[in-house]
Structures are given as C-alpha cells and as structure tokens.
Amino acid sequence: MSNHPDDLKAARAENRGLLTRVGLFSVFVNLLMLTGPLFMLQIYDRVLSSRSEPTLVALFVLVAFLYLMMALLDHSRGLLVARVAARFQDRLDRRVLGATMQRLAVRAGDPLAQTAQRDLDGIHRFVGSRVFLALFDMPWAPIFLAAIFIFHPLLGVVALTGGAILVAIALTNQRLTKDRQQKAMQLSEEAMRLEGQLKNEAETIQSLGMMETVMGRWQKARRAALEADVGAKDRADGFSTTSRTFRLFLQSAILAAGAWLVLQNALTPGAMIAASILLGRALAPVDATIGQWASVQRAQEGWQRLSQLLREVPPAPQRTPLPRPDGRLDVQSITVTPPGDTRYVLRMLAFALEPGQALGVIGPSGSGKSTLARALVGSWRLAGGRIRLGGAPLDQYDPDMLGRLIGYLPQRVALFEGTIAENICRFDHDPDPNDIINAARDAGVHELILSLPEGYDTRIDARGGRLSGGQAQRVGLARALYGAPALLVLDEPDAHIDREGVAALDLTIQNCRERGTTVVVIAHRPAALQSCDLLLVLENGTRVAFGPHAEVMANMGKKKPSKFQGRIMGAAP
Ligand SMILES: Nc1ncnc2c1ncn2[C@@H]1O[C@H](COP(=O)(O)OP(=O)(O)OP(=O)(O)O)[C@@H](O)[C@H]1O
C-alpha cells in the first residue's frame, strides 16, 4: 500500500474554505428558520391579544425582510455547494481518468476502473444537491428540539420521541436498502458494460448473425437491472413515505398535545403553533435525507471505490529528466506475470542489444512474445529482473518520456478519432509537420496517405474509418516511428500486410537500424524477420535460443523439429 496523500481527502481539504462558508451560511439560515415560529408566537400572543394593527404591520415587514435574508443566504449556500462540487470534480477529473487508464491498460475490465468516472459524477451530483445541504441542517435538529422543551417539557418529550422514531426509520432504511441498491447498481453496471461491448463490436455481431442472441443477452441483463432497481426503489419509497407521513402525523400530535396544554392553561396558543412549526423544521433534513437516500449511498460507495482505486494506482512519481538514451537495450533476467495473475509468463529471460541491432522474436502461440513486448515498453511491470534502455532502468524514465523514446506497434492497432496527422503525432500539441511526414515516409505510408481525399487531414474514427486493416497497421507503424524513437518494438507488424507491405516493412527496419534505433520484431512469418540480425526463440516463457539470425535458424534446423520449428523452417517468405 502506498503512502501518498489521499487524493480525495486532499480535494476535499482544498474546498474547506468554501465548505466553512456553507456551514456559516447554514447557521444563519437555520437561525432564520425560527422566523416562522416566532412570528406565530407574536401574532397569537401579542397582536391578537392587544389587537394592535401597527404591531401587526411592523411584525409583518420584519418577517418579510427576514424571509428575504433567509432566501438570499439559502440561495448563496446552494451556489456555493454547486461550486464546491464543480471544483472537486475538476480537481480529480484528470487524476481519476489517469488512474482508470493506467489500471485498464494492465487489467482490462477492472470493476473499480470501470465505474470510476461514474463514481466521481455521483459524488459531484450529491455534493451539488439539496440533500448535501440537509446534512448541514441536521445538527440543528437537537437545538430546535431543545427549544420545544422550553415551551413545555411535555411537548419536548413528544418531539424527542418522534425524532428518535424518525432517526430509527432512517437507520433501518440504510440497513435494509443498502444490499438492494448495491445489487441494482452492480447489475446496471453489467448491462452498461455489455452495451458498450455490443456497440464496439457491432460490425462483427451483425456479420456473424449474432444480433438476436446478443440482443437477448443484453435485454436479459437490462431486465435484471430494472427488476433490481424497482425492488430497491420499492423498499426505499416505503421508508420515504413512512418517514414523510410520520413527520406530518408528528406535527399533528404535537399540536394535539399543545392544544391539551392550552386547555389546561399551561401553554399559550402561540407557543402551541410555534412548537409544531419548529418540529417540522427540526425533522425536515432527516426526512429529506431519507427521501434521497439512494444518492447519498451512491456517493458514499463511490467515494470508497474511488478512494481504493486512487490508493492502488498512485500518481507517477516525478522523475529527474534523463538525457535522451541511445538504443542500448539490456534485458536482465526478467520474470513477468500478467497483472492480477500469479503465473509466470516469462521466466528469467536475458539478452542484450546494441544500438542499431534488430532482434526477431519467434515462438509458438502463447510462448510469451507479446508479453515481452509489453514488458519492453514498460506497460507490464516486472516481477523480477530489470530492463535498461541506454543504461537506465525503464522505471527511472518519466512514463510520457518513455512513450516517446520507445515506438510501439501493438498486435491490435487502435487509432483514435481525429486526422491521420494527429494520429501519427500522437495528438502532440505542437508537432513539427516534417516529423509527421518523415514518420509516414519511414513507414512507407506517405503515398497512400496522399492518395486519400484530404491527405494527412483525412479524418478517421477509432476503427480506422476508411482505412483497411493493413493501411491502419501502417499508420500505426508511422505513429510508432514518430519522433525517431531509440527503441522500436513491433508486435506482429506483418499480420495484415501483403508481400509488398512486408518489403516496405523490411526497408523500414533497415532504415531504423542505420539511424541507430534498436528494433525488436515479433513475427510469425520469417519474411518479416529478414532484416533482423539476431533471433530469439521463446517457448513456454523461456529462452530456447538466442544469437545471430543465420546461426539460430541453422541450429533449429539441426534439432528434431517441433511442430513450431517445422512451420518456421518450412514457411515460405
Ligand atoms: N492479460 C492477461 N492476463 C492473463 N494472462 C495473460 C494475459 N495476456 C496473456 N496472458 C497469457 O500469457 C501467456 C503468453 O501470452 P502472449 O500473448 O505473450 O503470447 P504470444 O507468444 O504473444 O502468443 P501469440 O503468438 O498467440 O500472440 C499466454 O498463456 C496467455 O494466456
């Protein structure tokens, strides 16, 4: 567990000044709430008995002024909490999305990361709402109840007993609705996740004729979420109605008790009415909180989940900027386990490359090639060993800087909504157009981009838009080459390309090598590895051969060929 300061608490502390003001305004608003009961007292006990019209007018003007003040203060605290909520969200937006991305990059589908942004929204909505203000009014309930005691102890006892019953209803509500609400939220999350997946894979679903079945699955998930939601709402509504009705009944009960006391000449009619109003004021925040309990709970649980996520994904520490490294790559006995897993997928793997060398990595499916690529680009942490680039361990580089030093073409190329140029320069704020064009030239995709209607300014969507799989992969290669990285890691760059594309790739690797860029290429087809001077063979996460390309191939040929070796040796370029 990290010992970095809790981001949520820090964001809350930043708003302490505003929240203190909300508290202060709440003091005055609650004091001004006494206007109604006091007015009532004066009308019944002073105006009606003295039959003085000037007193009535004076009191009325005073009351109008006090109510105006109360409205202004209440509105001001409403404005303040809206700003607190906005500031809180703005302070945490980047941090939460950053932690979400960091977590999802290594643990796809992580539940904490999936809900993080919605949790932050839930807190934002709660803090900016009236029910949040009700929490500031809550401490005044005992004071109002004590004031009722001053009128008459019997009224105080009625009010206190009623208040205790209402609090008991609130606590029971919390205990009994919690599980249902959690279940409803969880099912709704699942349905939303499924919906997101369906939208992303709409094309595949349609072409595989899966529309009916997946829609059925989705509808089942939605119905389950709806049913749970209705169940949770039913129970919450039951409590809310009980609490509201009981509060109204209590006001009548206190009026009845007051009337009885008036009949006994133990109380004035003004005090009877004032006590009833005071009771209403005292219990209003409890009632409001019960009515909006779902949003209170959502915010509370969201806070806990967010707090756990931010604790588990601390912000990247500030690194002393290192000088730009050369392409020396030293992989020192690394052991890698996939995030959230305990299996070793790479074990004690070691090799070293000099600037300008190119290493081809081959091995059967599941042997750990992509895992090596992820470890080399620093996206998967090492369980043991070290990787050094230009002499410095990868974790000593600033992550963004590392991203620029290492060009990476993942197995599944993901492009982003924007122009081709923006995609190549990774949405750099102030890119040098020459760097973009050079990267595209190096990737052999410049001519192709020029042939598009708007050239480099052609807009594409997340799926590549009008680009074919092979074209998207070459744009991905240009993106990897942008900024002349010190190390280039290509994971199956030949997956979607034809013979011509393979020749272009070969040229790209040669050019990189001449510039001193170290290249690691993972490929199934030997043709894609022609310009690699070294070969690494992986099997079951361990190194079974490493050395000059020709030597490794020759040795593999001498051994009794395994199914995989046979494929590699026999495959035509
Ligand atoms: N995110 C993950 N979580 C858990 N295990 C994983 C994860 N990604 C890969 N693995 C496991 O790690 C092992 C190595 O996978 P890797 O993707 O590195 O193989 P590969 O050699 O690149 O295979 P291929 O040639 O099919 O792409 C496999 O057994 C795989 O099941």
Residues 486-534: tens digit of each pLDDT:
999 999 887 777 777 778 888 899 999 999 999 999 987 777 788 899 9
**Closest Cα to residue 375, out of 414, 412, 329?**
329
pLDDT given for residue 563 in this prediction: 54
Residues 289-340: tens digit of each pLDDT:
877 887 888 899 899 999 999 998 888 777 788 888 888 999 999 999 987 7
**For the chain, what are the domain ranges?**
1-129, 145-291, 329-558
Kindly give the distance from the C-alpha atom of residue 366 to the centroid of ligand 1, in angstroms, as a whole number: 5
In the block, tokens 């590392």 appear at 402
Which CATH number applies to 145-291?
1.20.1560.10
> Long-range contacts of range 167-173, CB-CB < 8 Å, 24 or more positions apart?
167/286, 169/239, 169/242, 169/243, 169/246, 169/290, 170/239, 170/243, 170/286, 170/289, 170/290, 170/293, 172/239, 173/236, 173/239, 173/240, 173/243, 173/290, 173/293
The dihedral over CA atoms of 239, 241, 247, 249, expressed in degrees to the nearest 10, equals: -120
**Could you give the C-alpha distances from 79 to 19, 63, 86, 91, 131, in angstroms and in order?**
11, 24, 11, 18, 14
**Closest Cα to residue 483, out of 437, 445, 446?**
437
pLDDT given for residue 23 in this prediction: 93
**Closest Cα to residue 492, out of 501, 484, 500?**
501
> Which amino acid would we find at residue 61?
V
Residues 441-488: tens digit of each pLDDT:
998 889 989 998 889 999 887 665 678 888 888 899 999 999 889 999
Q: Whose CA is nearest to atom 3 of ligand 1?
A: 338
Residues 48-97: tens digit of each pLDDT:
888 888 889 998 999 999 999 999 999 999 999 999 999 999 999 999 99
Contact 350, 334 (CB under 8 A): yes
Kindly give the distance from the C-alpha atom of residue 23 to the centroid of ligand 1, in angstroms, as a whole number: 55
Kindly give the distance from the C-alpha atom of residue 371 to the centroid of ligand 1, in angstroms, as a whole number: 6
> Long-range contacts of range 308-312, CB-CB < 8 Å, 24 or more positions apart?
308/112, 309/96, 309/99, 309/100, 309/103, 309/112, 309/113, 309/116, 310/6, 310/7, 310/8, 310/95, 310/96, 310/99, 311/1, 311/2, 311/6, 312/103, 312/112
3-state helix, strand, coil in the chain (%, to 5): 65, 10, 25
Which CATH number applies to 329-558?
3.40.50.300
Ligand 1, residues at Cβ distance < 6 Å:
338, 341, 345, 363, 365-371
* Alpha helix (H) residue ranges in 451-548: 469-481, 499-515
Contact 407, 487 (CB under 8 A): yes
Q: Whose CA is nearest to atom 10 of ligand 1?
A: 338
Least confident of 103-107, 257-261, 352-356, 405-409: 103-107
| In the predicted structure, residue 562 carries a pLDDT above the cut 70 | no
Residues 6+ apart with CB under 8 A from 290: 169, 170, 173, 239, 240, 243
Contact 275, 145 (CB under 8 A): no
Kindly give the distance from the C-alpha atom of residue 478 to the centroid of ligand 1, in angstroms, as a whole number: 25
Kindly give the distance from the C-alpha atom of residue 415 to the centroid of ligand 1, in angstroms, as a whole number: 22
Among 103, 336, 344, 369, residue to substitute to test ligand 1 (most atoms within 8 Å of Cβ):
369
Contact 357, 351 (CB under 8 A): no
